[in-house]
Every structure is written in structure tokens, then in C-alpha cells.
Amino acid sequence: MSDYPLLNAFLTMMWFFLWMAWFMLLFRVIADVFSDDTLGGWGKAGWTLFVCALPYLGVLVYLIARGRSMGERTLRQARARDQALRAYVREAATEGPPAGRNKADELARLAGLHDHGDISDAEYEKAKAEVLAA
């Protein structure tokens, strides 16, 4: 028999996961403070000091005061990353075939990008004309 019952093991695991979730939330708030472009240096220093000195109260007040803008900033950053990725894909798709690829492979790749919606009709026609002209 063990001196550590199953319920105590469950409670220990629960507290451990809650502790980990708390640290994830704390680091997310601190990361949001420093990623906010509208907040000045003194504001960032004040929020960081408040969150570090009184962590539970600081995080709770931060989420109440700036929770909505926190979500909006995250969404805006995700959209910017998505647009940058799409621009990169479009640029890579219209550069022409790399060495070692034939025209049929390149046209098939362009058709796949077009069917998936990564490039527009105009970009597809321009890239197709460049592949056929090469």
C-alpha cells in the first residue's frame, strides 16, 4: 500500500497544471505589454512593475483594463503574418521555374496554387505566360 492516495495524486496534478496555466497567462500578459506599440515606455514600465510586484492583482487588472485590446492586437498581428506569408507565396510562385524543373511541372505547380486560391487569376496568367515564354 502507498501512503499517497489516488485523490492526493490527482489534486497534486491539478495544482501543477493550474500553476503552469498561471505562468503561461503571466508571460502572455508581459509579452502583450511589450508588443503594444501604442503604450509608451512609462506605461510599459508601470504595467510590468505592477504585474511583477502584485502578480495576481496585476494580471487581473490588466485583463479587465486591456483584455479587449489584447485580443485585437493578437488578431492584427496574426493577419499581418498571414499577409506576409501570402505575399511570399505569390512572389515565389511568379518567379519562374527553378533549375531542374521542366515547364509541365511548373505549370502544374501554378495550377495547384491557383486552384487553392493562393494566387489570383491575373497572377496565374502572368506566371503562366512567363513559364511558357522561358
- Taking the C-alpha atoms of residue 20 and residue 74, their distance in angstroms, rounded to an integer, is 21
- Taking the C-alpha atoms of residue 5 and residue 3, their distance in angstroms, rounded to an integer, is 6
Q: What is the pLDDT of residue 90?
A: 84
- pLDDT tens digits, residue range 52-87? 999 899 999 999 999 889 989 999 999 999 999 998
For residue 44, give every residue at least 6 positions away whose Cβ sits within 8 Å of its Cβ, in sequence order, or none: 33, 34, 36
- pLDDT tens digits, residue range 108-117? 888 888 888 8
pLDDT mean over 7-26: 93
| Average pLDDT value for the chain | 87
Whether the pTM exceeds 0.85: the reply is no
Q: What is the pLDDT of residue 26?
A: 93
5 φ, ψ (degrees, to nearest 5): -65, 165
Q: What is the pLDDT of residue 95?
A: 67
Kindly indicate the confidence band of residue 130, based on its pLDDT and cuts at 50, 70 and 90. confident
Kindly indicate the confidence band of residue 96, based on its pLDDT and cuts at 50, 70 and 90. low
Q: What is the pLDDT of residue 21?
A: 94
Say if residues 43 and 10 touch (Cβ distance below 8 Å).
no
**Selection from 79, 76, 112, 66 nearest residue 93 by Cα:** 112
